[in-house]
Chain A
Amino acid sequence: MSVVGQQTWSLCSIEIHGFLGVGDDGLTVQLDRPVTILIGPNGSGKSTILEAVEWALFGITAVGAAGEELRTPNLDAHRMYIHRGSPEAAVHLEFAADGHALEWRRTRRHTKPRPGDDAVVCNLDGEPVVPDPNELFGVTGELFRRAVAPGQGALQALISGDKTKRDAALDRLFGVELLNNLTLGLSKARFDLESERRGLRAKLDGFRSGLRSEITRRFDERTAARSAALDGEATAEMLTPAAAAASAEALGSELEVAVETRGGDLATLRETFASLRTTADARWSGTGPGERETRLLEVAQTATAHRDRWQKAVSDRLDEETEFGSLVESTGTEEHLDMELGASKDKLAQLEASLNAMNSRIAVLSSAREWIAAQPVSPEEEIECPVCERPMIESELAGLIDVVLASLAGADGEASAVQERVEGARKQIRELSANLDAVSQKREQVGTLAKREQALATDIIHRLRGHAGQLPAQPDVVEAPVATLVKEVLLLGASIAPDGSSLPTPALNDLLGRLAVATRSALQQTQGEIAQTREAAQAAREKVLSLERTIRFLEAEAQLDELDSAVGNVELATASAALDAVDSGVETLLAVIQVADGVSQAEAQARIADVAPRLSSWYERLSSHDSLRGARIDVTTRRDRGGSRNSYSICATSDDGWETGAGPMLSGGYQTVLAVAALCALSDDERSRTSLGLLALDEPTQSLDPDMTTRMGHAVARINVPRLFLTTTEETFADAATEGAGASQVRVIRLRDWTAAGGTRTEGNP
């Protein structure tokens, strides 16, 4: 339909039922003149009527001081538009333009309060059309709140002491808020993305670094294991599982051990090598020749060392027997010596008896002599012989006694000769006793040596009996001669009497000699065999060691190869590529942000360029200040975390260049003047034009004194717009506006105090 979007519509009627403070009885406002002034006390519902228009068109309204759009899934938040106790809210708008009529109705039921569930009906000249405010009136909710009905929140934000809020309000009024939001959103997204990317990159780099370190470590281990393997018998070609398996099989065959390789499976090979090592070690210790060697060494010890000791004992005994023979030969036998000794002792006894008798005679004679001498007689007198008791001349008797004494006791007397013979007999007895002792002793020594000889021989036989018990039942060809001789010795030993008297020394000696020779020969053969076995075992051990080094290398290589899956991990590579893409995305985002920033700044600058002259003009019209008669608006851009922001400077200016902006330096009233001037200037702006043909100023006289209020009324009433909608609590303002626009152009509607029972009502209505 051609009329759509081509006309400037005039809002003719607003009919409200069950919306906010308006009850089910409803409220109808006829806008049949260019200027409509709603006057009423605070809370009477002036703003509600403006909100009803906004709600009808968009389903939501601006809320809060900054006029943010309500976007919430909370049903109660949407339900709040419905008057308390009413089942539904309904607003009906009527527009007219060049003979066309357009009706717009929105109804919201209590049960389904979402805007999407509202019943919205739009009829153009009685025909339904799509209820799209942008299509029909060229107005969006954002533009409505910015340029059609800025609301008290927008006015208050413009004079807020908080510069951030003022800047945000001006951004909103200039229509760059969405662009700024986009910039801020993109900046935040970039920041978040960057932060996330850094975290992921750090994790990925950490993982890669860890993986690289592990690869380096395992590579070094593999290199060391390879060097160790090549230092042994292996060649580079042998360092494969298959070659290791073949080597293991060959060695197993050499050691006569069955091996399992499973085609070079490393675990199996490891077990196989352990088994081969055990076998090689067993060969080293040698259970065959080694044990025989032990047995032969023991026999050899008996047949040589013990035999030597026995032979020495035999020799000692023979020497002693020889000496005994010589001694007997020189001294006689013990029997002979014993007989001689008896004879000598008898002779000595006879001699001693004779000597004693002689000494008795001498003593008697001596006593007689002494008695004669003592006799008181002369030598010629007779005296009775004391011996024979015959009378004898004393001198004769004395002479006779003296002669006898001289023959007995004189130097050559008989007593002396007998004494010498006694001494000789005693000496002979001593010599005979000594010889007898010597012979006896020697005889005993011979006996002792014979016993020792016997003991040693018995010991040899006892030992050989022990050895015989250890010999195998079926001795091999090396050990058989030894076993035979041992048996012969034992057989001989069985014939020896317990006292050793039947010891066949020569025969035993001969057998032991042959045993020693046989044992020595067997031992030489055995040790030769052992040397050969050990050499073979050592060679096998070295091969096992070499194979173990090979398997160590293969294991190290397998451990390194295990990391191939991580190196070739698709997710890892994809993550890395994705991060690269994110890097690129972040860069793109940055570029978009820069473009959006630039557009925002340019848009703000362009709007400022358009609005600045009108702002000054409007301020002049509204201000009654003696000095501050102009106004200026600038915008600069400052970089901030997360992006750039527009920073506005809106000031009242004096003739002499003094400037003062919103804030404590400017009075509240002039701040309001500055804000209203800005709203009026913006509404004049071409970019704010819509097909709705409506401008609503909601209580623009806050903090104004009566003079200023009047001046404001005069001025705003002359705004060039099809429908001007003013709300106020001030009669003065209404009067001034009426005067300014001309009474015929103004419809004044007075609202009564709001009551719970009646809601919002116009005067004249019940």
Chain B
Amino acid sequence: MMTVTSTGRPLSAFAGELLSRVQENLIDEMGDAGRGAFGRVVQEAVELAMQVIDLGLRRNPGAGIPDCWCVLASQRCACEIKYTDDGKVALGIRDVQGMQLGGDADGSRLVVIDIQFPARLWVLDAQNIEPGAFQASGHAHLQEPDEADRLAIQLERLLRLADTELVTGEADAKDLLREVARSS
């Protein structure tokens, strides 16, 4: 069990390398648009992993805010999912509003997958996060280690099932994730 609360929940060598290759492949295929595509693939993977933890997960597809509502531990949280390859994520006002004013949620969570080596997962209490450039490693005290651990385990499981076939186009990657999530 890997738990490093002060530096984010590390992902396995396999998961980190796989995510890195998925991103590289999408960027090679689509240029800058590949980053957006990778973000959507990551969001799909995270939401599918969350769904294993909370069957009642409510997704908010499209450009809605927040990305989803989920019970990762005891409370229902409005969640925003981001990824970063340089340690920073840009939080728009709508992102923050989505998390902090998110419907009937009891709490708010910012889920960040940092694919810098070594890759790690943050599940941060986002109740008091401000919009703007946000660096998860600078807010380690907001980390919810148990939730991060639980989510990381499911995310790892999903990525193992998808395996290197995930290194493909956005649509195929998302289809594959859904397929393996369904079949498992």
Q: Which residues of A contact B (CB under 8 A)?
A: 208, 211-212, 215-216, 218-219, 222-223, 226, 236, 557, 560-561, 563-568, 570, 573-574, 576-577, 580
Could you tell me if B7 and A236 are in contact, using CB atoms closer than 8 angstroms? no
Among residues 1 to 56 in chain B, which have CB atoms less than 8 Å away from a CB atom of chain A? 2, 4, 6-7, 10-14, 16-18, 21
Residue among A561, A565, A570, A580 with most chain B CB within 10 A: A570
> Closest chain A residue to B118 by CB distance?
A567
Select which of A223, A226, A561, A573 is within 8 A of B13 by beta carbon: A561
Report the Cα distance A561→B159, complex, angstroms. 14
Could you tell me if A573 and B14 are in contact, using CB atoms closer than 8 angstroms? no
Q: What interface size band does chain B fall in?
A: 20 to 34
Could you tell me if A573 and B4 are in contact, using CB atoms closer than 8 angstroms? yes
Residue among A564, A574, A576, A580 with most chain B CB within 10 A: A564
Report the Cα distance A212→B16, complex, angstroms. 10
Report the Cα distance A340→B16, complex, angstroms. 119
Could you tell me if B117 and A208 are in contact, using CB atoms closer than 8 angstroms? yes
Q: Does B164 contact A (CB under 8 A)?
A: yes
User: How far apart are B40's CB and chain A's nearest CB, in angstroms?
Assistant: 23
Select which of B12, B140, B164 is within 8 A of A564 by beta carbon: B12
Q: Which residues of A contact B11 (CB under 8 A)?
A: 567
**Interface contact tally, CB-CB below 8 A:** 60
Could you tell me if A216 and B17 are in contact, using CB atoms closer than 8 angstroms? yes
Could you tell me if A563 and B164 are in contact, using CB atoms closer than 8 angstroms? no
Could you tell me if A223 and B4 are in contact, using CB atoms closer than 8 angstroms? no
User: How far apart are B93's CB and chain A's nearest CB, in angstroms?
Assistant: 28
Q: Which residues of A contact B2 (CB under 8 A)?
A: 564-565, 567-568
User: How far apart are A183's CB and chain B's nearest CB, in angstroms?
Assistant: 30
> Closest chain A residue to B1 by CB distance?
A568
Report the Cα distance A557→B159, complex, angstroms. 14
Report the Cα distance A2→B12, complex, angstroms. 72
Q: Which residues of B contact A222 (CB under 8 A)?
A: 14
User: How far apart are A230's CB and chain B's nearest CB, in angstroms?
Assistant: 10
Top-7 shortest CB links A-B: A568-B2, A573-B7, A568-B10, A563-B13, A567-B118, A219-B17, A215-B13
Report the Cα distance A212→B117, complex, angstroms. 7
Q: Does B163 contact A (CB under 8 A)?
A: yes
Report the Cα distance A215→B4, complex, angstroms. 20
Q: Does B137 contact A (CB under 8 A)?
A: yes
> Closest chain A residue to B3 by CB distance?
A568
Q: Which residues of A contact B17 (CB under 8 A)?
A: 215-216, 219, 560
Report the Cα distance A236→B164, complex, angstroms. 11
Q: Which residues of B contact A574 (CB under 8 A)?
A: 6-7
Contact bitstring B94-127, A, C-beta under 8 A = 1, else 0 = 0000000000000000000000011100000000
With contact pairs A212-B117, A226-B164 given, residues A577 and B13 touching in the complex (Cβ less than 8 Å): no
Could you tell me if B14 and A560 are in contact, using CB atoms closer than 8 angstroms? yes
User: How far apart are B3's CB and chain A's nearest CB, in angstroms?
Assistant: 8
Enumerate 11 A-B pairs (CB-CB under 8 Å) in ascending A order.
A211-B117, A212-B117, A215-B13, A218-B13, A564-B10, A567-B11, A568-B118, A573-B6, A573-B10, A577-B7, A577-B137
Among residues 139 to 184 in chain B, which have CB atoms less than 8 Å away from a CB atom of chain A? 140, 163-164
Could you tell me if B14 and A219 are in contact, using CB atoms closer than 8 angstroms? yes
Q: Which residues of A contact B163 (CB under 8 A)?
A: 226, 236
Report the Cα distance A574→B137, complex, angstroms. 11
Q: Which residues of B contact A577 (CB under 8 A)?
A: 6-7, 137, 140
Could you tell me if A567 and B16 are in contact, using CB atoms closer than 8 angstroms? yes
